[in-house]
Amino acid sequence: MRRKITTALALSFMLATAAAAEPPPARKPPAKVTFHKAPSEESAAAREKRLKRECKGRPNAGACLGHTSR
């Protein structure tokens, strides 16, 4: 009798762990992100002029990389 109870408990444990081992459902891919330019954002030409003006005398330091020789 004790062996039947032990066998039944072992089988129920195995079934419970098998059910828990199923992989989770696939996740939805993240939504596409779009970036909108702010109206106060400087244009590319304005940025070039500013960097050329601000980077005088700072040879290739940080944001000035490549703007000192122009």
In a domain, 8, yes or no: no
Q: Could you tell me if residue 18 is inside a domain?
A: no
Report helix, strand or coil for 45.
Answer: helix
Give tens-digit pLDDT for 5-60.
Answer: 888 777 777 766 655 556 777 888 888 888 888 888 888 899 888 888 888 776 66
Query: What is the DSSP secondary structure assignment for residue 32, as one 8-state letter?
Result: P
pLDDT at residue 54, as a whole number: 82
Q: How confident is the model at residue 69 (pLDDT cuts 50, 70, 90)?
A: low
Domain span including residue 58: 44-70
Contact 68, 51 (CB under 8 A): no
Q: Total structural domains in the chain?
A: 1
Dihedral angle computed from the Cα positions of residues 12, 9, 14 and 18, in that order, rounded to the nearest 10 degrees: 30
Residue 57 in domain: yes
**Per-residue confidence at 70, pLDDT binned at 50, 70, 90?**
very low
Stronger pLDDT, 63 or 44, i.e. the higher one: 44
Residue 70 lies in a domain: yes
Q: By C-alpha distance, which of 42, 44, 58 is closest to 69?
A: 58
